[in-house]
Amino acid sequence: MSLKLKPDQALRRLSDFAAEKALPLWAGAGYDETAQCFHERLRFSGEPIADVPRRLMVQARQIVVFARAGHAGWYVGGNRLALDAFENTRRRYRSADDAPGWIFSVQPDSRPADRTRELYAHAFVLYMLAWLYRIGGEPSILMLADETLSDIDRIFSSGDEGYLSRVPGPEDLREQNPHMHLFEALLALADASGAERYLVRANALVKLFDRVLADPETGAVREIFTANWQPDRAGGENCVEPGHQMEWAWLLREWERLAERWAHAPLLAVGPGIRTGIPIRYDDPREVGPDRIVNSVAAKAKLGAPVIVVDFGTSTNFDVVSPAGEYVGGVLAPGIETSMDALFARAARLVRVEYVEPPAVVGKTTVAGLQSGLVYGFAGQVDGIVAAIRGELESPDAPVVATRSPSGPDTMRVISPAAASSTIHWGSSVSSL
């Protein structure tokens, strides 16, 4: 047989293989009718290997396969099979040990085999739910997706950007791959549901990609990091997976498509070489995150120059536009939530508090004292740094803009009124001023 196929011929050949061979195989020999779940693996003869643990990841990915096949018309009964397998998967894996989240694997008799929580598997649970919602439209599916996202935040939170890979597991390991699949799942949820909250979460992962996942020198997507997202090896020696470069390229295009849907305008991806109208006076412009540049462009457009932007996020960023209208750099300070998380983690007798303004500066209880330190401590930080920047600019009346990531806690609305830095303009984003 000739291997010189035109693209449409090759696509037809692959689709025929999927519809006529692969899907019937896994819906037949690959599916355990009694347990209503997929077998972990098959022998080359097609006989299932039944006496091995069954991983959550396999179930979720197979459910996606048949939901997509049913949706595309490649396999009659694909939707029904996906829904039946999902009901069993939810029952056997979600909180099977009475703890939050989805366990890693179960025995063939449904007893928990491995109670580890894995971010990669949870990402595929979300991807599975996105496709189940697309084929069925059941509101309960999105409720479960939101509950799973809350589980991810609770289980895998690392105290910095992104998440731990597995719990229990090493606390000094960060991996690119599960974050990529979490990004994929969030985009699928946003696309299927039309709910902006999933795109907001995806935006945070784009920021992580821009800041640390992509090598600033080569643009290659790196795989393994230590705590605080430091590459585990020197530049040029990091592990790089060719397939992941292609996946990120495709997913970022999907993100642009969905972002344009919500913005109702063409999306401009800001990066090195993009003209923004503000000269970048920085020793290495490639080090400046695009969010900092966009904030500065929007603040200048709204309030003119000079202007100072205070962005409350993982770090509290102070970005400065000079009287000449140039981006001249800024200050990076520990973020509010990051600092408070570190305090609560190291002081066992201190409890987490709500981010609200206390009744007085001098707290009469531990909770009020913590809230006072949070509000007036960080307000003082803003005032002190803003005053120093204004002095260096020789612009004592330079306006200040406060902004934050929509996905973070609304600490900005508590801190900004307590700061004395003249008039602080604020909104959920600089562009909302």
Residues assigned a catalytic role: 291
147: tokens are 């509950």
57: tokens are 């990841």
Per-residue DSSP letters for 96-154? TTSSSSB-SEE-TTS-EEE--EEHHHHHHHHHHHHHHHHHH--HHHHHHHHHHHHHHHH
| Residue 123: other Cβ atoms inside 10 A | 25
The answer to whether the CB of 213 falls within 8 A of the CB of 280 is no
Torsion sign over Cα 170, 175, 179, 181: negative
Residue with tokens 């305090």: 343
Dihedrals phi, psi of 95, to nearest 5 degrees: 50, 40
Residue with tokens 């983690």: 345
Paired residues of 309 in beta bridges: 319, 401
* CA pair distance 180, 165, nearest whole angstrom: 12
